[in-house]
């Protein structure tokens, strides 16, 4: 008998049932920076998440897509992890991919991008994915993470329980 997948709420109407495309570049994925952390967190939340970075073939055994248009009708949410200057084609690519929402991380949102999204009819969500992680209490370094403090009162996704 197959177990039902539990669905947990995330930010502003998003849930773990959505499918995500994490948009970054080679450096942000290879050097385990924010894009890699977001992708890993979404996978820990048991979400379907696709990494998108130009010039990167595979990442930790997963296929990396070079553009958002390769994910046409596969994703519902795009999570950009690049500065606004590098997101010039984000909105047209999101529309072409059939996406309905963009979840802007800290420092990726701009007024221009907001206006473009409004014109295209895309829903904008702001805030960090990492705010929804449960940080282990055994590690006292969790208090140094700004995501821990910013997401103190946000909905959390429980960690996977293996063996059950």
Is residue 139's pLDDT more than 60? no
pLDDT digits (tens, 9 = 90+) for 2-49: 567 777 778 778 888 889 999 988 888 888 788 888 898 888 888 889
Q: What is the mean pLDDT of the chain?
A: 80
Task: Provide the pLDDT for residue 129.
Answer: 81
Residue 77 has pLDDT above 90, yes or no: yes
Give all domains of the chain, ordered by start, each with its CATH number.
Answer: 19-131 (3.40.50.720)
- For the segment 139-159, the average pLDDT, to the nearest whole number, is 51
Q: What sign does the dihedral 134-38-82-114 (CA atoms) show?
A: negative
Q: From CA 148, how far away is CA 164, in angstroms rounded? A: 28
Pairing of strands 62-63, 48-52: unpaired
Decide: 53 and 142 in contact? Cβ < 8 Å: no
Span 62-73, average pLDDT:
87
Catalogue the long-range contacts made by 159-164 (C-beta closer than 8 Å, 24 or more residues apart).
Answer: 159/44, 159/134, 160/44, 160/46
Q: Which of 4, 15, 6 is nearest to 155 (CA)?
A: 15
């Amino acid at each position: 008998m197959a177990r039902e997948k539990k669905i947990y709420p995330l930010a502003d109407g998003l849930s773990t049932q959505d499918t995500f495309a994490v948009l970054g570049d080679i450096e942000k994925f290879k050097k385990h920076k924010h894009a890699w952390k977001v992708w890993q967190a979404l996978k820990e939340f048991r979400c379907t998440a696709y990494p998108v970075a130009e010039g990167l073939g595979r990442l930790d055994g997963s296929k990396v897509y070079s553009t958002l248009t390769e994910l046409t009708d596969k994703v519902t949410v795009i999570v950009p992890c690049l500065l606004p200057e590098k997101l010039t084609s984000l909105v047209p690519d999101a529309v072409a991919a059939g996406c309905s929402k963009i979840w802007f991380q800290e420092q990726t949102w701009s007024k221009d991008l907001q206006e473009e999204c409004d014109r295209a009819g895309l829903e904008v969500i702001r805030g960090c994915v990492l705010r929804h992680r449960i940080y282990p209490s055994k590690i006292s370094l969790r208090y140094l993470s700004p995501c821990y403090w910013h997401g103190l009162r946000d909905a959390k996704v429980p960690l996977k329980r293996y063996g059950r």
